[in-house]
Amino acid sequence: MDTFARMLTPENWIALGIALLTLAIAITGLAQYRWTRLAHMQAHTPAIKSELITPKSATPGSVSITNSGLGPAFIQAINLYREGELVEGILSEAFEDVFNQLANRQGPPIQTVQPYAYQQDYAVSKDEKIILVEFDFIGQPDGEGFNAELERQQVQLEIVYKDIFGRKHVSIDPRPGKEL
């Protein structure tokens, strides 16, 4: 190496320095591009959350989803689980099956209405709220103990969705210690 360094002329040293500086600028530019892309992806990441409203005397209950993230969420699947097992059927039937089993232990049966017909790749906008199902207790104004029974039987709602970059996300509510 010592003999190689002696053979270089000042012009060669300048050219080598410029080449190394160009390489450092290119590496910095690629790293900056990567960081900018990651920040852009984070700035457009959706976050789907679900909410359960128990029926009251004058209003029906509902299960809804809201995109509280920063970008649109493209719905891929909505699944309902009880005690870790998938409840089969279309969404309104699955809710009706689970809710009636819970209500029969607690009291009156439940009547459900599905105002939302879920379609794959439907885009849920930022701050958009979609009611998946509405339900009401037949013959009783309030469903006392209903939320406790939901938690006891580990009823969970799973929403699978993608962001605008095609990344897959899964939201499962409730997580331990959190209500649906």
Do 93 and 8 share a structural domain? Answer: no
- The reply to whether 34 and 114 lie within a common domain is no
Q: Is the peptide bond before 10 cis (omega within 30 degrees of 0)?
A: no
pLDDT at 105: 58
The whole-number pLDDT of residue 149 equals 75
Q: Are residues 127 and 145 in the same domain?
A: yes
Q: What is the pLDDT of residue 74?
A: 94
pLDDT value, residue 59? 76
Which CATH number does the domain housing residue 150 bear?
2.60.40
Q: Are residues 34 and 54 in the same domain?
A: no
Please tell me the predicted confidence (pLDDT) of residue 115: 65
Q: Which of 150, 129, 130 is nearest to 55 (CA)?
A: 150
Mean pLDDT of successive 10-residue stretches along the chain, which has 180 residues: 74 92 95 89 88 78 89 91 86 80 63 70 89 76 66 86 92 66
Instruction: Name the residue range of residue 6's domain.
Output: 2-42
pLDDT at res. 72: 93
Q: Which residues contact 108 (CB under 8 A, 6 or more apart)?
A: 137, 138, 139, 140
How does DSSP classify residue 46? -
**Region at 133 (left for phi over 0; alpha for psi -120 to 50; beta for the rest):** beta
For the beta carbon of residue 103, count every other beta carbon within 10 angstroms.
21
- Whether 25 is covered by a domain: the verdict is yes
Question: Considering the entire predicted model, what is its pTM?
Answer: 0.72
Closest alpha carbon to 134 in 159, 115, 158, 109 = 115
